[in-house]
Amino acid sequence: MPGFELFGELERNEVNDVLDSGVLMRYGFDGMRNGHWKAKALEKELQSTLQTKHVQLVSSGTAAVTVALASAGVGAGDEVIMPTFTFVASFEAIMMLGAIPVLVDIDDTLALDPKAVEAAITAKTKAVMVVQMCGSMGRMDALQAVCSRHKLLLVEDACQAIGGTYNSKPLGSIGDLGCFSFDFVKTITCGEGGAVITNNENYHTNADHYSDHGHDHVGNDRGAETHPFLGYNFRISELHAAVGLAQVKRLPEFLAIQKRNFNIIRETLSQIPEVTFRTVPEGGEESYAFLNFFLPNLEISNKVMLAFKEAGIDGCFHYYNNNWHYIRKWEHLKDLKSLFPISKEVKEGLEYLKSKTFKQSDDYISRNISCLIKLSWTEEEVRQRAVKMGEAIVSVLKQSR
């Protein structure tokens, strides 16, 4: 997945344009910038890549989720339904706005289970956030149907799935708003950066203003701009946008490498009857950023992870035992460890986490191993890796019989 593996001349040239003018900020300084508007150019490029009307770049993927929700009016006391398997940014962004994260089970797609979503809807529910984990997607038709039936906003976190599609639409462009991250380990990197995308003009105007202190961006005198509403600083810098501009043009190249490498490993592992793969909904095509597979049980998964380590196979994650991506180890959320007081509404709204169990999610995540697909591997390296992975899995399965 990581675009940084292929950082080179193109990226350097774009950054040098910015360094030559010295204008590191995305707004203003028109006369000094020698015609270089990297953030604007990247937004334009993403509009066509993501087939969407509006793109607002921001400082990170986490900021993108916050800005997306704020732009659609999600705030104090609203409930946002999100999956148990995601990155911690999901609940951070929701809670930043004073809203309440309502965690629900995932299904065999490793994304939100539409049935679990429907069961969690209350009078306070405002939005559903589907997180397109590890390069693939949830059952988007069913999720959209639930949202339209209950008049809820559908926000798509596609931070890990740029380049994936559903019924030929780019992931991130299907919900009311989509979010992307360009942090250092994502398929396309800016170093740090993110984007909010939408076809809704009003949400876009809100995102544009909100991410820059509420500035209305009318005219070319920042000091004279008015503030139609309160905002914050979630801006991206020109230096970061310049790197992204070079990277986004290489997306088709990155995706083709990922697909080749993914298919070699998948083909090898699919010869082992006990190995099954995450479900990709009909009409969907993954970005091939990760290969996700299921083993028969937790014990075997733990042993396979050890066998991978012994065989020197890196870049595979067992999220059940990982602190970042799965509810099981989010003690700081369950215990509400906050530097500052949290509102009564959010405290009460999160009481359920002390006792709620997620059996269905536990079943999938305890048996799932997720392997990063790297861009820098040669075909020969991938083949050797696939064989080693297969051997490690088969040896564990034999011992466990």
Ligand X SMILES: *Cc1c(COP(=O)(O)O)cnc(C)c1O
Sites of contact with ligand X (CB under 6 A): 60-62, 86-87, 89, 131, 157, 159-160, 181, 183, 194
CB nearer ligand X, residue 87 or residue 294:
87
Min separation Cβ 396 and ligand X, Å: 29
Q: Closest residue to ligand X, Cβ-based?
A: 61
- Beta-carbon contacts of 222 under 8 Å, excluding residues fewer than 6 positions away, are 27, 28, 215
Min separation Cβ 110 and ligand X, Å: 11
> Dihedral angle at the C-alpha atoms of 153, 1, 89, 294, nearest 10 degrees?
80
Query: Of 99, 102, 101, 100, whose CA–CA distance to 76 is shortest?
Result: 99
Residue at 58: amino acid letter: V
| Local structure of 40: helix, strand or coil | helix
| 134 contacts 160 by C-beta, under 8 angstroms | yes
Min separation Cβ 194 and ligand X, Å: 5
Cross-sheet strand order for the sheet of 194-198: 54-58, 194-198, 177-181, 153-157, 125-131, 79-83, 100-104
Describe the chain by its helix, strand, coil percentages, rounded to 5.
45, 15, 40
Q: How many CB atoms lie within 10 A of CB 301?
A: 22
Contacts 24+ apart (CB under 8 A), 323-326: 324/87, 324/88, 325/85, 325/86, 325/87, 325/88, 325/133, 326/84, 326/85, 326/361, 326/365
> How far is C-alpha 101 from the chain's CA centre?
17
CB nearer ligand X, residue 210 or residue 264:
210
| 306 contacts 287 by C-beta, under 8 angstroms | no
Min separation Cβ 134 and ligand X, Å: 9
Min separation Cβ 86 and ligand X, Å: 6
Instruction: Check if 259 is active-site.
Output: no
* Alpha-carbon radius of gyration of the chain: 22
CA dist., res. 164 & res. 199, Å (int): 19
Min separation Cβ 157 and ligand X, Å: 5
CB nearer ligand X, residue 86 or residue 165:
86
Structure tokens at 46: 């993403």
CA dist., res. 157 & res. 231, Å (int): 22
CB nearer ligand X, residue 88 or residue 142:
88
CA dist., res. 81 & res. 100, Å (int): 8
CB nearer ligand X, residue 212 or residue 225:
212
CB nearer ligand X, residue 33 or residue 235:
235
Choosing from 38, 126, 186, 374, the catalytic residue is 186
CB nearer ligand X, residue 194 or residue 284:
194
Q: How many CA atoms lie within 13 A of 331 on its CB side?
A: 3
Min separation Cβ 172 and ligand X, Å: 11
Mind telling me the catalytic residues? 186
